[in-house]
Structure 1
Amino acid sequence: MSGPSWPPAALAAAGLLSGSTPGGLIAAIGTAAFLLDAIDGRVARSTGTASAAGSQLDSDTDASLVLVLSCAAARSTGPWTLGIGLSYYAFLAAGWFRPSLRDPLPPSTVRKVIGAFQPCALLFALAPGVPATAGAAALAVALPLLVISFGRDVVGLELRRREYHVDAAPAPRARA
């Protein structure tokens, strides 16, 4: 028997603590997860099994994958890489304080492209044989794009909430 089989998240966390990240294994598993994620929504829509709960689960699992990959990449690129993995959770936490951030977002191709670029950049940085500077450069592009995307969504949700409240407010009474 070869020993225990550890989930990728445990491998990433153990690598951060021990100083040895199994990047090749995490990159391979992460690539498989990323490719499967690319087709699960299409399958759900084509079979009529798509739902709001499934969409939320998809977003949450995507965020988990990005967090695991950013933990693994942080070993070679630095702790700033964790910003990529933690951004989704920061957005969710901000929703506790700003109710408008809990509102549904309108569909956005730009958001989808930037969201797909994050795991791609992380997987590239983790791929065996990729120079650390090249991986860090990809992540140095990914993080600002993510900040811009989340910033755009925050502003859009806040503006929409303000417009709704202004429109929903009763009109002032005219003086007689």
Structure 2
Amino acid sequence: MKYDSASALPATCSTLRRQDTLLALATGFVALVTAATVILWAGGAGWILFPGAAVPYLVIGAVVMARIDRYHPHDRFGIANAVTLTRAVINCLLIGLLVEHHTLFTFWGERADWLFFAAAVVSLSLDGFDGAVARRQGLTSRFGARFDMEIDALLLMLLAVAAIALGKVGAWVLLIGTTYYLFMAARALVPRLRRDLPESMRRKAVCVLQGAVLIALVTPFITGIAATALALTALVALAWSFTVDIIWLMARRR
């Protein structure tokens, strides 16, 4: 039997799904606290690192629990969503590192930037595995697709903020991190923009470009004109991609 939404699943399946999801979220929280403790123990970070990383993770966890029953028509959380959750853990750790960046840089120097760089690379590298695993296991869902998209957007925003914090580029680089959220706000106001977009290699390539450029900006050796040129290139590509999608959506009849 095919279910169009998770709410159509039997009560037993719903219970199993929620239990599996809670276990995954708890495991992610333990991993986050452990990583933050190691950084704190290594020196250079203050206690603010913990709430800086834990609070956004708890918010993500609350959203996951609120949405998974409706949009994930399977009786388990799944490895694919676990991969995305791992990326969420890394991204939340990056938030904590951003909060404590000045203190970390004082103690570690450029090693603090390399720590941020390494974590961002791991998060970006895991992108793409979740979708492939979900398709292989037959566990694709609207929840999984949206979860992956939101974690991607969060990483881009964090990298844009990091580029500003490091003095690589001006505040205008936040346009790279906020374009997705502006588009989602427009969708809430314009019904035509709520339609599903077809798969697009152009969209995927531009997303990879944004991540690669922003990660390059947090490295110590990309500065000055090079940093500005890279950021502008990424922003122009992003604006072009969103413009193409918006035109396509607005031109389609019902």
Distance in 1 (CA, whole Å) between partners of 2:125 and 2:117 is 12
Residue of structure 1 equivalent to 2:160:
70
Distance in 1 (CA, whole Å) between partners of 2:131 and 2:180 is 20
Question: Quick check: 1:156 aligned with 2:242?
Answer: no
1:131-176 per-residue CA deviation (whole Å, 9 max, x = no partner) reads 332222111100011011111111111111xx22xxxxxxxxxxxx
TM-score by length of 2: 0.58
Residue of structure 1 equivalent to 2:210:
118
Question: Quick check: 1:96 aligned with 2:188?
Answer: yes
Distance in 2 (CA, whole Å) between partners of 1:15 and 1:93 is 30
Question: Quick check: 1:61 aligned with 2:151?
Answer: yes
Structure 1 residue 13: Cα displacement: 4.9
Greater relative CO, 1 or 2 (CA 8 Å, sep 6+) = 1
Structure 1 residue 15: Cα displacement: 4.6
Q: How many residues align?
A: 161
Distance in 1 (CA, whole Å) between partners of 2:134 and 2:113 is 31
Residue of structure 2 equivalent to 1:174:
none
With 48-57 and 6-15 compared, the bigger mean Cα shift is at 6-15
Question: What SS is found at the alignment partner of 2:128?
Answer: helix
The change in CA–CA distance for 1:90 and 1:71 in structure 2 (over 3 A counts) is same
Report matched runs for 1:34-49 at 5 Å: 34-49=124-139
The change in CA–CA distance for 1:74 and 1:152 in structure 2 (over 3 A counts) is same
Q: Percent identity?
A: 32
TM-score by length of 1: 0.82
Residue of structure 2 equivalent to 1:108:
200
RMSD: 2.3
Residue of structure 1 equivalent to 2:81:
none
Distance in 2 (CA, whole Å) between partners of 1:43 and 1:136 is 37
Distance in 2 (CA, whole Å) between partners of 1:12 and 1:69 is 10
1:25 aligns with one of 100, 106, 115: 115
Q: Does the Cα contact within 8 Å between 1:121 and 1:139 map onto a contact in 2?
A: yes
The change in CA–CA distance for 1:96 and 1:14 in structure 2 (over 3 A counts) is farther
Distance in 2 (CA, whole Å) between partners of 1:82 and 1:12 is 15
Distance in 1 (CA, whole Å) between partners of 2:123 and 2:157 is 13
With 86-95 and 74-83 compared, the bigger mean Cα shift is at 74-83
Residue of structure 1 equivalent to 2:142:
52
Structure 1 gaps of 5+ residues are: 165-176
Structure 1 residue 30: Cα displacement: 0.7
